[in-house]
Structure 1
Amino acid sequence: MESYLGLQARAWHGQRAALFRVRTAVVDVYMSVSRSNYGNEERAVVEVDCARFFTLWRGAPGSEHAALARGNPQTWRADPRFELAAEGFSFGEADPVPLAEVSCPPGAAVPYVAFTDGVIRTLWLAAYAAKSFPVECAAHEAEALQRLAGTAGSRWLSVAELVPPQMA
């Protein structure tokens, strides 16, 4: 996973997170994923190729975000929420934005991805020519997402692998 930088200690409650750097045409931005109290083995991170990911997203049946998926950098930048993503990314490594959360149902008749959270962050990355970026999905969907849109030579990892529990 090329974008993975390692563990980052967070100021609040001694929490740690997996830190990622995403290269764009304008600036490197930072994203992260943290452990939760449970289910870290069931959550996965997949580094996706932007073009392949958007192809899958555009194929989502009945997507509420279909118009955004089929948009382009000019239309994405016109969305009033676009500046919120820019603001979120502006805090850099000190306060990385959360990974987008997606689903990629294995065995779907027509493969697709859908968003749970992070549409505008993803559009911001695409608008500024990120070639790849990490996303979070359910572990049982990670293999399909990796095969369909993952970056070459990478493999998906569970949140438990990326952010092991702290030893007392």
Structure 2
Amino acid sequence: MKLNWNIRYQIVSKHIYPINAQLIFEIPITNSTVYMKQDLLDISRKYIVLLDTLKFIQAWRTSTNDDRFPNYHVGNEQIWRSDRKFHHAEQGFALGLMNPVPIISDMACRYEYPNIQISFANHFTRTIWLLANHAEYLPIAVKSLEMAQTFQQYMGRDNCAIHSIADIYQQWWQQNQHLFPQVPDDLIG
């Protein structure tokens, strides 16, 4: 399956029933590669956007201070690495392809001229870990197409489309359903 992204990714399924496919992202960092995942059977309607790391940092610097993470938005690698939970992300990413880290979700942004306000509800530590390790891009999942379009417009990676998780799964299933055994009708219900 080919998505309109200029990155390395794969879709894998480890189970037969239910078909639990995962989208795995290969993210280059300094001297290595890390892996992140998005379950494709996620029942919520979310959209995946690939953020350009440098554009994200520039936009984040224009945000107002978040009391939960004071001055992180204007920080640098040293500040991010000193976060009290940074080592947890280090351990999570060290597990590699066998246990990819879930992609960043529950992040929001809104444009308030002349600034972009970025806020985190979750996954802050993995975000700063990726930034501190010079990730080439940041994969995120957001809850609305409008939010995805805002992220894409101001921080999106060039030549990378927005995709809904549901559409990715549907395309993958249409191309791969013949690989999975069919359950006989007399065994259903």
Q: TM-score, with normalisation over the residues of structure 1?
A: 0.85
Match of 1:144 among 126, 150, 160: 150
Aligned length: 165
Partners of 1:149 and 1:66 in 2: CA distance: 22
Match of 2:62 among 59, 62, 70: 59
After TM superposition, the structure 1 = structure 2 runs for residues 119-134 of structure 1, keeping only pairs within 5 Å, are 119-134=124-139
Higher RCO structure (Cα 8 Å, ≥6 apart):
1
Amino acid at match of 1:58: R
Contact 1:100 1:115 in 2 (8 A): no
Partners of 2:42 and 2:157 in 1: CA distance: 29
Structure 1 residue 113 and structure 2 residue 115: aligned?
Answer: no
Equivalence for 2:24: 19
Match of 2:160 among 128, 143, 154: 154
Shift of residue 145, structure 1, vs aligned partner: 0.6
Partners of 2:130 and 2:80 in 1: CA distance: 10
Mind listing any 5+ residue stretches in structure 2 that lack a counterpart? 183-189
In structure 2, the CA distance between the partners of 1:161 and 1:62, relative to structure 1 (3 Å rule), is: same
Which range moves more in the overlay, 14-23 or 1-10?
1-10
Q: Which runs of 4+ in 1 moved over 6 A?
A: none
Equivalence for 1:87: 91
State the SS of the aligned residue for 1:38: coil
Partners of 2:116 and 2:79 in 1: CA distance: 25
The alignment yields a C-alpha RMSD, in angstroms, of 2.2
Shift of residue 31, structure 1, vs aligned partner: 0.5
Shift of residue 37, structure 1, vs aligned partner: 5.4
**Bigger Rg, structure 1 or 2:** 2
In structure 2, the CA distance between the partners of 1:62 and 1:78, relative to structure 1 (3 Å rule), is: closer
In structure 2, the CA distance between the partners of 1:37 and 1:157, relative to structure 1 (3 Å rule), is: closer
Q: TM-score, with normalisation over the residues of structure 2?
A: 0.77
Contact 1:7 1:163 in 2 (8 A): no
Shift of residue 4, structure 1, vs aligned partner: 4.8
Contact 1:104 1:142 in 2 (8 A): no
